[in-house]
Amino acid sequence: METKLVVPLKTEQEEDAFHLVNEQVPVLQNVLEIPQMNPGQAAEASDHPLESNLHFIEGNVTVLAAPSPTAAGDPQRPKGAKQKALKQEKGGKAGKSKSDKVSKGKVPKAIKSSKIAKETKPAKDAKAAKATKAAKASKPGGVKPKAAKATKPGAKQPPKPKSPAVAEQSEFDLGESRWYLNRELTWLEFNRRVLHEAVDERTPLLERLKFIAIVSSNLDEFAMKRIGGLKQQIGAGLHELTLDGRTPRQQVVECNASVREIEAAKREAFRQVRELLEAKGIVIESYDTLTPKEKKQLREHYYTNIYPLLTPQSIDPAHPFPFISNLSLNLLVTLRYPKSREHTLARVKVPIGLGTPRFIRVGKGDHFIPIEQVMMNNLDMLFPGMLIVSCEIFRVTRNANTEKDEEEADDLMSMIESELKERKFAPIVRLEVGEGMEPLHRGRLAAELELDEENDVLEVSGMLALRDLFEISKLDYPRLHDPPHHPIDHPQLPAERNIFHTIRDLGAILLQHPYVSFSTSVERFLREAANDPKVRAIKMTLYRTSIQGRIIDALVQAAQNGKQVAVVVELKARFDEATNIHLAEVMEEAGIHVTYGVVGLKTHCKVILVVRQDFQGLRRYVHIGTGNYHTETARIYSDMGIITCDDVIAQDVTELFNYLTTGFTAKRNYRAVMPAPKLLKKALLTRIEREVELHRQTGGGLIRFKMNALEDGDIVKALYRASMAGVKVDLYVRDTCRLRPGIPGLSDNIRVASIVGRFLEHSRIYYFRNGGAEEYFISSADAMKRNLEARVEVLCPVTAPELTTELRTVLDCHDADHRSAWDMQSDGSYVQRQPTEGESGEGTHQMLIAQAQQRLKDALKQKKKPMQK
């Protein structure tokens, strides 16, 4: 089947998605229109500058006060989650009073402005006072704003709320770099929190070892992606400052320093865990401690299973420096002939992978030895008749950023395959060497690999590549692992009934993974669609999936059953490119129509559309999720999904697939689902502004966002403005966070918490109080510039009361968590919450597991009641 490359065709009706933030928001489509909560209020478009001033200003802000206590009227903030207010110093009180004046429309004396601005301020204040007076006159006192009604397509749209005056008159210059944290450094800070799980005595022992492996793997990817990208910028001569005022070179230097600190802490954690494991009979041996019998057995194992795989390579003038593959362990062997004083070097790659484990079992117990130690002590087989002077170990990390220009490619799949080949030979960005390596050898390696020995070479004490500890962490010791977790079958999806009939009756079902089984919900949805004779078509996006999962099997089965199947595969999913190319070929061979999305944009949304012939005609069923359609990660990632047959959402998803398979960007009338890059960011910014305006009118403003990362500068600035206006902002951000909470006058109404525990937090939830007409959304997108402006994402509304209650419960669990939650401080550091006497020490994940099991028990009781009657 011919696969076409989709190129977006712009029309006059579409604005440039990447310049939205530079313009005033135009007349919006239905999905972005914000209902005017006070009809008497005069409406004006926002004129806040959304572009960042990247001028670097040194200096730290002294935090004078902790986040202020929760207002009694906040419906979403549970009592148990309210933070105790610290006493404010004089400076903090002064800052607060000034902020209060600004919110009332008065201009603080400290604000400097031009002569023209001073002359026009009285007129502006009078105009604002007049508008406020008119608004109050038209609105009965104490009347609660009504819920927003859906607007029919083509109907006249209500005016947008006026932007808050506080944004124009703030004493804080939001263009100053000091109000923002660095993306890379805050991500490394997240890994410190992950590493803390490895030293926390409440974590089971083998789970502690797993967290050490996770941090090691994370740091490898950080060097490959982030450091690699920064070095490319340095090589290209780029000196552009980030939002926090750093150059690429400054970031590399600071990141390397932070990585060295984390590596040192990781080594100490491994030492502690290793000693504790030895007491449990799990020992990682050193070759020197083995008995002669054990050494003999290992030598035989080496000769039979390792020696045939080895390829020694000489390093001398007659042989060029050998190619060193990414993340490989290598031995640097110094040798000489018995009658010669001249030394020569040889490199031997350690053959890990493809069935060869890093750790070799010694004897019958759970004693292991690293494979490199076995090799190092049996080199006489590899170099017979030569004297081994020394043997040192090293490891390299290569840049993973080898992307090409899609618009210049005739065949996208061939281009990605070419990128993968180039990645294999990409420049090296990091060299790790074993402790005590000969300085001459260290310098030669750095020179041959074109690295800066001072900044790019990391000396490691003990074992290298601790990511391989995953092998040991999987040992079967139930008491050294977390209690077994078995996802429940969703109580509202009975196995004996057709899933489409169930969805049709309920309207919508919310799925919480891994608490609800992915197999008996999402996979079942696809499986039944593939075999249901009434299903006519299946459309789906794939970003990451398991190569041996049941997702592909269901799609192939559907095609074989004569259904129309279309799949949008993202070939550029980092580190999964080869897998996705293979899966695309498998699906094409089965007759599935495979496309690769829109040129220049990654397809990151997670959407399934099933078209079925129901008794009243064609009906569309939709699944929209926050996580990948991946069987394995669905067991360890915390994600959300919704299955619905809502006509409006289904129509929007149909439009979305038409865009993905054609690239045509003519005006599309989305009424519920908000896709990026065109609408999603505007939708968030406009709703934040609306929350500010409603709070100014009636009070009680509240925003709650849950996401993996908060990096987009425009979103951060909007949240700062909301805080300055008095809106309470609760943020649950897993890792990267540019925003600084708790700064008096700027962000003292903002709390930021991070959950690190058994499962990887991965869901995205966006909540706005909206004057009482609450809005909940789930999304595939984080508040990152790349997600909002360079990817196809979706923001999906959740409206059913029983489903919004479930979403609120998730956020409330984050607030009540005194085990896995970390509170962010204004300087970017984090403090882990600790349970007080009498409080539960349960974390978010334990609470949600218990709640899922309770829902299942309640459903079974309800099912038994009719039988008992």
* pLDDT, tens digit (0-9, with 9 covering 90-100), for 835-855: 888 777 889 999 999 999 999
pLDDT at 97 over 50: no
Please enumerate, as own/partner, the contacts of 79-83 that have beta carbons within 8 Å and a separation of 24 or more. 80/815, 80/816, 81/812, 81/815, 81/816, 83/751, 83/823
DSSP state at residue 269: H
Number of domains in the chain: 1
CA gap 243, 636 in Å, rounded:
33
Task: List binding-site positions.
Answer: 218, 544, 574, 637, 734, 762
Query: Which pTM does this prediction carry?
Result: 0.79
Asked, for residue 69, whether it belongs to a domain, the answer is no
β-strand pairing of 359-362 with 367-370: antiparallel
Tokens 């609760």, located at residue? 730
Phi/psi for 779 (5° steps) reads -155, 155
Query: Who's near 24: CB < 8 A, 6+ residues apart?
Result: 45, 46, 47
- Ordered DSSP codes for 144-180: PPPPPPPPPTTSPPPPPPPPPTHHHH-SS-TT-GGGB
The percent of residues in the chain predicted with pLDDT above 70, rounded, is 77
CA distance 162 to 689: 8
Q: Write down the pLDDT at residue 545.
A: 86
- ∠ at Cα 510 (507, 516), nearest 5°? 135
Q: What is the DSSP string of 793-851?
A: EEEEEE--HHHHHHHHHHHHHHHH-SSSEEEEPTTS-EEE--PPTTS----HHHHHHHH
77, with CB counted inside 10 A (0-12, 13-18, 19+), is buried
Asked if the structure places residue 241 within a domain, the reply is yes
* Angle, alpha carbons 152-155-157 (nearest 5°): 105
Binding residues for ATP: 218, 637, 734, 762
> What distance in Å separates the CA atoms of residue 160 and residue 166, rounded to the nearest whole number?
17
Comparing 240 with 181, the larger pLDDT belongs to: 181
Q: What is the mean pLDDT of residues 628-633?
A: 92
Binding-site residues for Mg(2+), in ranges, read 544, 574
586 found inside a domain: no
Which helix (H) or strand (E) covers residue 856, if one does? helix 844-868
The answer to whether residue 750 is domain-embedded is no
Which pLDDT does position 759 carry in this prediction?
Answer: 96
> Which is more confident, 593 or 48?
593
Dist. CA 436–CA 419, nearest whole Å: 37
Tell me the residue range of the domain where 225 lies: 183-480
Count CB atoms within 10 A of the CB of residue 732. 26
Is position 270 within any domain? yes
Give DSSP secondary structure letters for 487-544. PBPPTTS-TTS-HHHHHHHHSEEEEEETTB-SIIIIIHHHHHHHH-TTEEEEEEEESS
**How far, rounded to the nearest angstrom, does the alpha carbon of residue 159 sit from its chain's CA centroid?**
35
Lowest-confidence pick of 157-161, 257-261, 484-488? 157-161
Task: In whole angstroms, give the CA distance from residue 701 to residue 715.
Answer: 17
Cα-based distances in Å from 795 to 645, 702, 705, 766: 17, 19, 13, 9
List the catalytic residue out of 367, 513, 593, 604.
604
**136 lies in some domain:** no
CATH code assigned at 476:
3.30.1840.10
More confident residue, 773 or 316: 773
User: What's the confidence (pLDDT) of residue 417?
Assistant: 56
Helices 801-816 and 844-868: crossing angle, nearest 10°?
A: 140
Please check whether residue 251 lies inside any domain of the structure: yes
Closest residue by Cα to residue 321 from 407, 446, 406, 421 = 446
CA dist 320 and 330 (Å) reads 17
Residue 866, pLDDT score:
62
Q: How far apart are CA 558 and CA 590, in angstroms?
A: 10
Residues 177, 240: contact at Cβ < 8 Å? no
Answer whether residue 649 is part of any domain.
Answer: no
Mean pLDDT of the chain: 81
Tens digits of residue pLDDT in 184-218: 999 999 999 999 999 999 999 999 999 999 999 99
Q: Judge whether 623 counts as a catalytic residue.
A: no
Quick one: pLDDT at residue 39? Answer: 35
Cβ-contact 345, 448 below 8 angstroms: no
